[in-house]
Chain A
Amino acid sequence: MTCADVERLVDAFADAELPAPTMLAVARHAAGCTACDESVRGLQALHDSVARVVRDELDALDLSDVWSAVAAAADHVDARRSWSRRARAVPAAVAALAVAAAAVFWLQGVRVVPTRVASIGPPLARRTLPNQAFIDRLAGKDLKLRREPRSGTTIIWVNAASGGFGR
């Protein structure tokens, strides 16, 4: 171990960051070398001065209110979290409700439709009145038909040129 080696390693030596054998080698060298010993002591003095200055300043600092301030801020954090949780929960609830409603309607549809068909019978459009069928057969030749849905009557127009009778 030379003075140049110690100069290179002195910081790590002062911080006890060297492997044990290297620590021992530096310590042995410094014990017999005034310059290297002074270098090590200088770092120790610097450490003491910096630590003392900061600790003096720290002692003048009143930390008694830190917790109350942090607790108040933590309350705000919790309140924000609670709101955001609710905000996230609302769309999920709406989606769940929609799915449930769709499921209910679907199930109702499956159950109700056959019973309705069974109770009502054949569709209304297929049901024709007896005289209506006769009128329909005549339509398109010398007759024109106009149905009046409000009164439920059918107006029949007869082509006079063909020698038939009028309205």
Chain B
Amino acid sequence: MAPSDWELVLRTRKGDRDAFRELVERYQRRVASLAVGMLRNREDALDVVQETFTRAYQHLDRFKGDSGFYTWLYRIAFNLCVDQQRREGKLGELRPEQEETGEIGPPLAADGPPPDEPFQRARSAEIGRRVEQAIRELTPDHRAVILLREVEGLSYEEISRVLDCPKGTVMSRLHYARRQLQSRLRELL
């Protein structure tokens, strides 16, 4: 039976480097998933993954085990992603009136190839590109909520711990982000 995260954390604290390696290998893909979704840049995402685990190792004594180890990791990763975007000036915030009125601009036109057999792959790629674009246009907070829910499958409670905000805020951000994506991708989905 595989050791629990908490057991591995305790072993790491006692100097067992193999235990930490197991934690890294257990969660590197999940952390990378958040990083790549947030940053849309493989090199930056890899940097964030490495830095996330380095910080986790450095501050492992601060992890009290009262929440999941991966939510703690996600929190580190999310903060690093936001820092990274801030450094690069990519922190595209929505205007306040957009947030209030829910106006999110015109939907993208469905000008891709028809869904016939020869064009299926091209259409799929086109949908992927547009979904990617729509995700990128979300604010970091909305993007994080979408990624943590739709890709990582975290519960509202877990997301609220990762983002350090109330559960109600998670629900409203998720609702807003989904409506925005649906509006952008109306003709494709």
Contacts and interface: CB of A to CB of B under 8 A. Distances in A.
B76 interface: no
B18 to A, nearest CB: 10
Interface in A62-92: 62-63, 66-67, 69-71, 73-74, 77
Main secondary structure of the interface of A (DSSP, over half): helix
Contacts of B127: 49
A24 B128 CA distance: 33
Interface residues of B, number: 41
A58 B171 CA distance: 26
Contacts, number: 101
Contacts of A52: 128, 131
Contacts of A69: 50
Interface size class of A (residues with CB under 8 A): 20 to 34
Main secondary structure of the interface of B (DSSP, over half): helix
A62 B49 CA distance: 11
B28 interface: yes
20 contacts: A42-B182, A42-B189, A46-B182, A49-B189, A51-B150, A54-B147, A56-B128, A57-B37, A58-B36, A61-B45, A63-B46, A63-B49, A67-B28, A73-B54, A73-B57, A74-B20, A74-B54, A74-B57, A77-B54, A77-B57
Interface of B: 17, 20-21, 24-25, 28-29, 32-33, 36-37, 40, 42, 45-46, 49-50, 53-54, 57-58, 127-128, 131-132, 135, 146-147, 149-151, 155-156, 171, 174-175, 178, 181-182, 185, 189
